[in-house]
A and B are shown apart, each in its own frame.
Chain A
Amino acid sequence: MTAATQEERTDTAPSTPSPALSKAGRWARRAPLLPALIFLIVVTQLPFIGTLIVSFMDWNAYYPNDRGFAGFGNFVTVLTDVNARKAIFVTVVLTTTVVLTSLLLGLGIALLLDRKFRGRGVVRTLMITPFLVVPVAAALLWKHALYNPEYGLFNGMLTMIFGDNAPQPDWITNNPLIAIGAAIVWQWTPFMMLILLAGLQSRPLDVVEAARIDGASPWQIFTHMTLPHLRPYLELSGLLGAIYVVQNFDHVFTITSGGLGTANLPYYIYQTFYTALDYGRASAAGVVVVLGTIIIATFALRTVLSLFQEESR
């Protein structure tokens, strides 16, 4: 952890202030931050402390009289539970593939839309539409209107093209994770594309123009100028995408109800809460997830990503 880089912003206050004054000045600086900070601590950390406490308890709502202290029992159960391990694996696979696919697709489409062509505005509007459909509606749409083997659009199109003997694959059953992933990619690609498009449009064009005049090939310009410029945007969209996809619940719940080996961590926790009413174990699983994501995120943010390594601009 590097010490946070202080921005070189000179105070307008007179130099060599008395310690008391500078303390007051520090608090004056902090004041606008406090409402948001306090609000957020109350709304997010309190429930998490509650989860932490419950995770050390034997607490199943069906047996209210057997409540007690469990020590690390719930954590042992979670970490040795086959289904929990599978859920961890599914979460990792789903998140990485969905985020990477959406990023690459988003980048390609952003590059396409960065050109001037007839109907560019219309195509952009078409592209962002999926992002504006309510996720649970999108999940319902994919499950029932597109994937359904009997009357879904995909098999319907196959019938239209190949006639009566067309193959009628059972999309969800054959590739459950891909089916869920595709539906999420469809919703997140537009969002990634928007961020990357914003990045492309903030490029200093005169520099690109100068490079072109100097005889740089488009490929060189892309690798040496565009990509480095886009790096923070790629990281930002990847990070936001990962945050939301890790937590994806609507699609897994709607499309497969966690079946066919698609139960991810949020679904596993949900199931432990609501079908087993095993509050202790569900909370322990929640704590494990939080710790895991914080560790991974800290590592990513502090080492790999440039977002937090901003020097003074």
Chain B
Amino acid sequence: MSTMTRARKPAAPSEVKKPRSGIFLTLLAWFIGLAFVLPVVWMVLTSFHSEEDAASNPPAIVAPLSLDGFKSFFDSNPWPPLLNSMTASVVSTILVLILALPAAYALSIKPVEKWSDVMFFFLSTKFLPIVAGVLPIYLIAQNLHMLDNIGFLIILYTGMNLPIAVWMLRSFLAEVPVEMLEAAQVDGASVTRTLREIVAPVIMPGIAAAALICFIFSWNELLLARVLTSTTAQTAPVFLTGFVTSQGLFLAKVCAASLVVSLPVLAAGFAAQDKLVQGLSMGAVR
């Protein structure tokens, strides 16, 4: 793997093929891609094995397939936690967008004075280690009777992802051609039309990417969920940690559970990869 770090010749996409090095680079790309996905493939394979085959050495690649892992996962009623995670991720993502879009507008199209200090403040909240705020948050939740409550978790997740979303959206809004906005204003075009025809095409990929990233980070969050939920608002990652027993074999079960819990994120990510690449280009920064 260490050869990876040597800078390689970039090949602009439109160049004339130099066959030999081209084939080598293609094989290398394939090799690295497969190496990165291998652990996930192993996870999927293990989840379809019996516990005994999952714990064998050399690895049982062609062992008979079994659904025991999934069976014990679905027998333990995973639906409430999965639904809680879905609720928390979707609702907090929507809230983030509702709050972040106007803020991003005020930081780019009609920037307030000292906008970069405001941006820095937004980002600096991400430097607060969550673990350092857990105790006051817990005590606040206890006093408001908001422990074990998905609504409270949603508020925290919104705060957790808001800075990133503002950042991403701002860089896209900064790309909106202001002259056209002004021209539209002079022509007396309606606000909705301006938004639809001038702003939306530019920032849609940014919104999609920001939404996906917020969804992923909320879905993945473990520490807050662990501390603040108990019976009714338990989320999927917390539920997942419950499959590791201190007694007996559990590998197939844990792999099956990991797979199911990761599925929504995998599906969303695969479906929206292009949006993600466009969105992360940060509106081409400048």
Q: List 12 A-B contacts (CB under 8 A).
A: A9-B178, A29-B112, A31-B102, A32-B106, A117-B26, A127-B36, A205-B13, A233-B285, A249-B131, A250-B223, A308-B119, A310-B286
> Do residues B59 and A156 form an inter-chain contact, with CB atoms below 8 A?
yes
Q: How far is the CB of A19 from chain B (nearest CB, A)?
A: 15
With A4-B116, A132-B265, A153-B59 as contacts: A54 and B135 at CB distance below 8 Å: yes
Q: Does A128 sit within 8 A of B, measured CB to CB?
A: yes
For A134, list chain B residues within 8 Å (CB). Answer: 219-220, 236-237, 240, 258, 261-262, 265
Residues of A within 8 A of B99 (CB): 35-36, 39
- CB pair A137 B129 closer than 8 Å: no
Structural contact, B133 and A47, CB atoms closer than 8 A: yes
Of B32, B36, B124, chain A has the most CB atoms within 10 Å of the CB of B36
Residue of A nearest to B107 (CB): A33
Stretch among A66-74, A170-178, A279-287 lining the B interface? A279-287
Instruction: Verify A119–B136 contact, CB threshold 8 A.
Output: no
B280 & A5 in contact (Cβ 8 Å cutoff) = no
Query: Which B residues lie within 8 Å of A113 (CB)?
Result: 29
Instruction: Say which size band chain B's interface belongs to.
Output: 35 or more
B140's partner among A7, A50, A195 (CB-CB below 8 A) is: A50
A-contact bits for B24-53, CB 8 A (1 contact / 0 none)? 011011101110110110110010000000
User: Do A36 and B102 touch (CB < 8 A)?
Assistant: yes
- Measured CB to CB, the residues of A under 8 A from B are 3-7, 9, 12, 26, 29-33, 35-37, 39-40, 43-51, 54, 104-105, 107-109, 111-120, 122-138, 140-142, 144-146, 150-151, 153, 155-157, 159-160, 186, 189-190, 194-195, 197-202, 205, 208-209, 212, 218-219, 221-222, 226, 232-233, 236, 240, 243, 246-247, 249-250, 254, 265-266, 269-270, 273, 279, 282-283, 285-287, 289-290, 293-294, 297-298, 301, 308, 310, 313
Q: How far is the CA of A149 from the CA of B133 in the complex (A)?
A: 37
Would B130 and A108 count as touching, CB distance under 8 A? no
Number of A-B contacts (CB under 8 A): 351
Nearest chain B CB to A78 CB, angstrom units: 12
Kindly supply a per-residue 1/0 record for chain B positions 126-168, scoring 1 wherever the CB is within 8 Å of any chain A CB and 0 otherwise: 1111111111110110000000000000011011001110100
Complex alpha-carbon distance, A3 and B117, angstroms:
9
* Residue contact A285 to B132, C-beta cutoff 8 Å: yes
The secondary-structure label for the interface of chain B is helix
B90 at interface by CB-CB < 8 Å? no
**Residue contact A51 to B107, C-beta cutoff 8 Å:** no
Question: B26 — which chain A residues lie within 8 A by C-beta?
Answer: 115, 117-118
- Chain B residues near A279 (CB, 8 Å)? 135
Q: Evaluate whether A47 and B258 lie within 8 angstroms (CB atoms) in the complex, with A37-B118, A129-B36, A132-B266 already known.
A: no
Contact A130 B36 (CB under 8 A): yes
The answer to whether residues A150 and B57 also contact, given A111-B10, A126-B36, A201-B277 and a CB cut-off of 8 A, is yes
B132 touches A290 (CB 8 A): yes
- Residue B78 is within 8 A (CB to CB) of chain A in the complex: no
Nearest chain A residue, comparing its CB with the CB of B267: A132
How near does chain A come to B274, taking the closest CB pair, in angstroms? 9
Q: Which residue of A lies closest to B43 (CB)?
A: A141
Q: Bound complex: CA of A226 vs CA of B10, how far in Å?
A: 9
A218 → chain B closest CB, angstroms: 4
Nearest Cβ distance between residue A98 and chain B, in whole angstroms? 14
CA distance A144 to B286 in the complex (A): 45
Interface pair B132/A26, CB less than 8 Å apart: no
The smallest beta-carbon distance between A210 and chain B, in angstroms, is: 12
Q: Does B111 contact A (CB under 8 A)?
A: yes
Give the Cβ gap from B183 to chain A, nearest Cβ, in Å. Answer: 11
Q: Which one of A135, A194, A297 contacts B127 once the chains associate, using CB atoms below 8 Å?
A: A297
Does A290 contact B28, Cβ atoms closer than 8 Å? no
Residue from A26, A35, A107, A286 in contact with B133 in the complex, judged by beta carbons closer than 8 Å = A286
- Given known pairs A128-B273, A150-B57, A308-B120, the reply for A136 and B10 (CB within 8 Å) is no
In the complex, residue of chain A having the shortest beta-carbon distance to the beta carbon of B15: A212
Please state if A313 and B222 are interface contacts (CB–CB under 8 Å). no
Pair A145/B42 contact, Cβ less than 8 Å: yes
Shortest distance between the CB of A207 and any CB in chain B (Å): 11
Whether B135 contacts A44 by the Cβ 8 Å rule is no
Docked-complex contact B36 and A202, CB < 8 angstroms = no
- Tell me, in angstroms, the Cα distance from A308 to B116 when the chains sit together: 7
* Contact assessment for B269 and A132 in the assembled complex, using a CB-CB cutoff below 8 Å: yes
For the complex of A and B, the 8 pairs showing the least CB-CB separation, nearest first, are A286-B132, A50-B136, A43-B159, A32-B102, A198-B281, A137-B258, A36-B103, A156-B59
Of B1-9, B65-73, B187-195, B196-204, the one with at least 4 CB within 8 A of chain A: B1-9
